[in-house]
Amino acid sequence: MSAVVSDGPLDWPSHPASPYFSAGRGPASERALPKRFHSKRNRLAMPVSFRVNGASVTVDVPPDMPLLWVLRDILDLKGTKFGCGISQCGACTVHVNGRATRSCRTRISTVEGDEVTTIEGLSSDGHHPLQDAWRELDVPQCGYCQAGQLMAASALLERNPRPSDEDIDSAMNRNLCRCGTYTRIREGIHRVAGSMTQDDTRSGNGGASNLPGQE
């Protein structure tokens, strides 16, 4: 299994109707939060420092805020998607120290000092070999799941440059795609397998990409 899931329940709203879920509407504002959350959450805020796509950042947030919330609502990195909020779909997959990780269930306090890579940092120019293969094969359909698929696939190739079908299925089977692009995802991974250089596999360089599924 490729995804790292935080232990224990997270007391954060995970439904799009939640005031903590911006869904592309811009950073969540204090005004949008119920008063009962203001005082409680603000009292608990603490600085957390880590690196995102090669840049050092410090955020002052409640320690149990999910990494996904910080990426989307505070750092405005909207390429990483919210799907289920309960670690079941993989849409929110990012790399934490090179490992595919579900950001919706990763407490921000647990990434102190870590290196986080999002889809925006997968390559400097949007031409990671997997991104090129995705274009050549027309892998995405609606595109919503594809940032998570690419982050899971790139983490797989970093630890296993020549995965078998079984390896791919094992690593990717918790990244869901409602459009059913699974066979093209597997073909894309095979196309790139064994052809990546060390530079290709080294992510977190702060670049931008223009793949479908990013905003």
Residue numbers at the binding site for ligand FES (CB under 6 A):
82-85, 87-92, 102, 104, 140-146, 177-179, 181
| The token pair that represents 95 in the structure block | 């790399």
Please, what is the minimum distance in Å from the beta carbon of residue 14 to ligand FES? 8
Distance from C-alpha of 119 to C-alpha of 35, rounded to nearest angstrom: 34
Q: Which is nearer to ligand FES, 55 or 86 (CB)?
A: 86
The shares of helix, strand and coil residues in the chain, as percent rounded to the nearest 5, are 35, 15, 50
Q: Is 118 helix (H, G, I), strand (E, B) or coil?
A: coil
Please, what is the minimum distance in Å from the beta carbon of residue 113 to ligand FES? 23
List the one residue out of 175, 115, 174 whose CA is nearest residue 145.
175
Please, what is the minimum distance in Å from the beta carbon of residue 47 to ligand FES? 25
Burial class, 61, CB count within 10 angstroms (exposed 0-12 / middle 13-18 / buried 19+)? buried
Please, what is the minimum distance in Å from the beta carbon of residue 18 to ligand FES? 13
List the one residue out of 3, 15, 13 whose CA is nearest residue 66.
13
